[in-house]
Structure 1
């Protein structure tokens, strides 16, 4: 890529063109008249053209000078716009969140972060546990909350806390399916989001396996899964803390009365090698400190 030489001379030239006077250009630049004249002469020698005619009234642009001034102004406008966009991005933070995690954990705590960073522009982007699979994750968000086992080699992964899973269903569903033991799940519809890996882990820990004939239903997100479970469409696995309200008020029950450890967890992730902005580092550090 060819470098732009004499960028300073181009800036001096542009102000000289605007003012058409060496003295006023020097004042605008807070420099000397001789410095302005030097840069104009240097640029003319570099380009091999005359940019100004010197007259008693000041500087009169030649045709070449007027044409160059139009191009330089266009370039400087693009540079100024780029600098402004960079400044705005430097004060903007985009976080990709899972809706249920955001509503049940993050939203009640965000006020504390904003109090520390009142000038920050914070953009919360919902995703369906897809941030780690995006072709261009940085085009979507600076950081992401991702549920899973943490095996995303292209990302720096910070596990937020160890999770425990509970099997839940509606009271009517348990009664009609006579759900008492793990083996009874064979006659239940297993509800899940994304894939069956959580159920496969749970069944494996219970000494069982997922049968190809197992009734199951994949749902779009955890909120839909929760409402479907409450409405008696099947049995779900949830992080225990996510469904405490529904267990307490009886909309859901835990038929096995037990929480199970799991390799799955919520993770704060960001692409490796890209470098974090100052707001992104501050958000990461704030969030990880909350989770200690």
Structure 2
């Protein structure tokens, strides 16, 4: 196996290759030109390849040098990106929160500005990666999930209880709400989340209440259902929390005459006791307070 050259040699090579000059590379790296020449010689000895050829007062890469330059540039970019991420994680106001996308989009996102006003200096890192279920004080500070994680040394509380509502865009809902339920199918098609057709709780609603509707579209992503309904393509059964912002501002309106169905229970989790920073505790308490206010509405 070839020995990997030192970062010092690779940085000298990359700078000289990029600038086409040992002298300019020396200036950029605050070294002498002889130091750069010596680094290139060492690198050529270690790789067993001639990397530069002289051209006038400058240098140009050989074919082997061009291959190495592309490799080194990719590696340095990866390294710089990693160092940038480390700098982000050192932000004392950082709190990493994992939250399912529909809940983040509909319930939490509209409240983030208020959250940051209430907690100055907070920098939330929000992830929808639901596979990141473990709170480890480094990568994940707080999670909102569909069940308790039941990991040792965690503080976990029930946060929100969702429900499913039949909704439509404001103008369509007004038309439906001023006519009888029996007439709805003649006025409006149905947008459907695929899992609802066979779901234990939602299936009966589709078979008993909505079977006469023309199906305009079926999606496997709840956010796409919401988008289609907001565009006026039909009415749909949606999560109240996922649609919270749209319902709050009046883009969507509940269609009367259909039963609301119990939805997902959401749990909030963080490390019990002392957390990585005081901001984690503050965000956790803020979420509980906002959830209580949501329930009271």
> Please, what TM-score do these two structures have when normalized by structure 2?
0.45
Bigger Rg, which one: 1
